[in-house]
Amino acid sequence: MNNIFIALGSNLENPKEQVKKGILFIKKIEGVRLLNESNLYETPPVGILDQPNFVNAVIKIDSNLGPYEILNELLKIENIAGRVRIGKNGPRTLDLDILLFNNLILNEKKLTIPHPRMHERLFVLMPLKDIDEAIVIPNHGAIIDIINKLTPENIIRIE
């Protein structure tokens, strides 16, 4: 089985419920088992600042599916949630990203693992740390060390 960490985020159409529904849909993917989930966090937007705050979370699953199979399932769930891709860092009903897939390092046009900017984003690292404080991000180091080097952000645990 593959250990996979997935980030969830939303800032449209009741973001908290969007994230919770996203988790439920992921649990229903055949061959996927939910192992753990983080707290929910409210976080300010990145890039485009004139938009609502986000609700973010991370889950850990195991699965016999490969990375592209998981990606395709996540894209289907985003579509069900009404995700419209208007631009980078824009508002969204649901955003699902593969953060880590075992210790795989993959750098392809359609998929990069570990997620290419996760080590720069506390809104990803804080919920990931909820699940596993000892996690090491390939090519970047221990999560605790990475978090300690980043500038604090206004991240509020809401659940």
CA distance from start to end of the chain: 29
Catalytic residue (one of 33, 62, 95, 117): 95
- Is the whole-model pTM more than 0.85? yes
* Cα separation, 78 vs 45, whole angstroms: 19
- The mean predicted confidence, pLDDT, of the chain is 94
pLDDT in tens, 28-38: 999 999 999 99
83 counts as catalytic: yes
pLDDT in tens, 76-125: 999 999 887 777 777 899 999 999 999 999 999 999 999 999 999 999 99
pLDDT at 13: 94
pLDDT at 97: 97
Catalytic residue (one of 33, 50, 62, 92): 92
130 counts as catalytic: no
Catalytic residue (one of 97, 121, 130, 157): 97
- Give the start-to-end residue ranges of the domains of the chain: 2-157
- 9, 26 in Cβ contact below 8 A? no
pLDDT at 19: 98
Catalytic residue (one of 33, 83, 121, 130): 83
pLDDT at 49 over 90: no
50 counts as catalytic: no
pLDDT at 98: 98
Q: What Rg value do the Cα atoms of the chain yield, rounded?
A: 15
pLDDT at 127: 98
33 counts as catalytic: no
Name the class of domain 2-157: alpha beta
Average of pLDDT values for 61-70?
97
Kindly provide the b/e burial profile for residues 21-56, where b requires at least 16 CB atoms within 10 angstroms of the residue's own CB: bbbebbeebeebeeeebbebbbbebeeeeeeeebbb
